[in-house]
Amino acid sequence: MSIVGVGVDVVDVARLAAALERTPSLRNRLFTADEQVVTRVESLAGRFAAKEAVAKVLGAPGLRWTEAEVVTEENGRPRLVVTGAVREAADALGISTWHLSLSHDGGIATAFVVAER
């Protein structure tokens, strides 16, 4: 396997919380139904940062936010699931494996994504 790309992003948790409060429909545009089950805004901010990091890896702005989903495995580890145009862009680059790390502290959520072929 070889690394195709690395993406990192940070999200100001309070800024995302304000945006979600100001525009309730934004939640449906940014997050899948399963992601919306998460109620802590810090966790949602981490998921949004992951989506931004995926877009950076792919170099593909304009992808649908809900086509990069963060799911939580039984052991609590986050995992990326890509579908639709995000999946097509990843396939075009030969990406077969995604690695994801999320963290939040001090009002900032961070996501680090590594894509391998």
Per-residue pLDDT tens over the stretch 53-109: 999 999 976 789 999 999 999 999 999 999 999 999 999 999 999 999 999 999 999
Contact predicate 116/2, CB 8 Å: yes
Domains of the chain: which residue ranges? 3-116
Q: Is the pTM of this model over 0.85?
A: yes
Fold for the domain defined by 3-116? Ribosomal Protein L22; Chain A (3.90.470)
